[in-house]
Amino acid sequence: FHLMPTLVVYVAMLPVFSYINQFIVSENLQLNGTFFICIIVSLIAIIVETAYRLINDKKIKHGDIKIAFTPDEEVGRGTENFDVKYFNCDYAYTLDGGDIFTIEYENFNAASALVNVKGINIHPGSAKDKMVNAILLAKEFDDQLPSEEIPSKTEGYEGFHHLNDFNGDVENVNMFYIIRNHDEDILNRQIEDFKVAASKINEKYNGEFVNVTLKEAYKNMKEIIDKHPEVSHFRFSMEK
């Protein structure tokens, strides 16, 4: 590309050494560890080889190209201190897993919900009309959410909520959900579902038994990319 603006190839990597150590601790994960190392090494080799060719092949015309390796995903904690202003690039592409010859130009809007459920633990022999089982309340909470909006029943652009972690006992339960949707308005409706479910249970049992902490993770990049057709040009070239 002649007179191409500054382009940053933003490389997402997981924390290599700490993860490798975790993999090799257990014999059961030895194969997974080997596979993980192969992925990382292959990714680095491809990027370095590309840079080598761009530097040495004078027939390829281009502007400044910058490459950054980060300790984890582009939405991970490793980018919190990434100095975007200092890096000074016009456009950025993340090199990550995916199909060959494809460019991802849209993604889910993402949020998460941590649901804490408090119970009242009484000896079973004298629990009538006194015990509030947090496990059963947690199940009741989950039943309030749309049953068809889960990963095993959705595909493509269909959004979902996913109960990713559940732990606790009669007295206290924590549930962690991820919430995803390409449409931000629908995502906001999904978030509202969590608030409504908590409110219904607290009202039903006349107490603050359920508390929901909601956090926004990241947004659909398509909203920004659509404003910059010069970036999405690569997408159309790929599709052809």
pLDDT digits (tens, 9 = 90+) for 149-184: 999 999 999 999 999 999 999 999 999 999 999 999
Of 31-35, 107-111, 141-145, least confident by mean pLDDT is 31-35
As given in the structure block, the two tokens for residue 46 are: 């491809």
Residues 5-26: tens digit of each pLDDT: 444 444 444 344 444 444 444 4
Contacts of 63 (CB under 8 A, 6+ apart): 1, 3, 4, 5, 6, 7
- Output the pLDDT for position 19: 45
- Find the angle CA(231)-CA(236)-CA(240) to the nearest 5 degrees: 150
Percent of all residues in the chain with a pLDDT value above 70, rounded to a whole number: 74
Average pLDDT of the chain to the nearest whole number: 81
Report pLDDT digits (tens) over 192-236.
999 999 999 999 999 999 999 999 988 998 888 888 877 766 655
Q: How many CB atoms lie within 10 A of CB 199?
A: 13
Whether 129 has a pLDDT exceeding 80, the answer reads: yes
Give the tens place of pLDDT for each residue, 92-104.
777 766 676 677 7
Contacts of 8 (CB under 8 A, 6+ apart): 65, 66, 67, 68, 87, 89, 91, 92, 93
| Band of residue 106 on the pLDDT scale cut at 50, 70, 90 | confident
Predicted pLDDT of residue 95: 73
Q: Please give the pLDDT value at position 94.
A: 77
